[in-house]
Structure 1
Amino acid sequence: MKHEDKLLQQCLDNLQTLPNIKVDYKPLLPTQINTDKNGIIQIHSPLKSIKYSYTIQPDITAKTADLVIAYFQLHKQKQNEELVLITNYLSEPVIEKLIKNQIEFIDAAVNVYLNNPAVYILIRGQR
C-alpha cells in the first residue's frame, strides 16, 4: 500500500470514529488521476450526505499553506466542486489560515474542519 493510500485510510478511519458519521471513498483509476484531485469521498450524516473530491498533500507548512489555499480557490472556481484536503498534520497557524479561507481538511492527527449542509465538524489542537 502506498504512503498516500495509508494516509487517506488513516484520516478516513479517524473521521469514522465520530458519532453518526459514515464515509465511503473511491480513488480514481490511474488513467483518471489529474493534478486536481485523487478521488471522491462521500460523507454521510443523519441529516444528509455530501460528496467531496479529495486531494492528498502529505506535508503542509506555514510557508506552503498559501499555495494550498490558492490552489483550492482556483479549483473551486474552475471545477465548481467541493474539495477536501487530506494531510499528515496541520500546525495551529496553518489550521487558522485554512479555516479563515474556508478550506476544509482532515489530517491524520484528527484535526478536522468540515463545513457543509451535511455536517459541521471542527476539531483542532490534536497531535
Structure 2
Amino acid sequence: MLGTMWINTGLALLACVVTFIVAMMSNVWLVSLERAGLAFLLFFLAAFPIRWLFGIITQTSTPSTVEESKDGVVAASPMTSESSEEGVEGIEVSDSAEEDSFTPLTFSRQDHTHLAEDPTTVAEVIRRLSDE
C-alpha cells in the first residue's frame, strides 16, 4: 500500500470538516456533527482501497538497466535508451538475454468451421426463428 495511516486520517478529517460546514448551513449542529462523523468514517475506510490501487498502479517491477552475464558480455534490458547506439567503449552489447527470456505461446492450427458458420446450426436457427 502506498503511504501511511496519516493519509487516511488527513483525508477523513478534510471530509469531516467540509461535511460539517456544509451541513451546518441547513441543519442543526447535532445532525451536522452526526453527518460529519459518518463522513469521517466512510472516507477513512475508503482511503484503504484507494491507497492499495495507487500502489498497484505506481508499482514498478523492472530489473536493472544493464546486466552482466558469465562471459563478461553486457546485455541491455528493454529499459535502456536506444539513443546511445555506440554503447560504452570496449563493451559489446547484445540482445541475447532479451531473446532467451521470452518465448511466445503457440497453438496448433486446427481446421474447423465456426459454430455460426456450420450449415446445420444455421438451419436450426432459421427453423427456430420461423416457428416464433
After TM superposition, the score normalised by the length of structure 1 is 0.21
Whichever of the two has the greater Rg, that structure is: 2
RCO higher in structure (CA 8 A, sep ≥6): 1
User: Higher strand share goes to which structure?
Assistant: 1
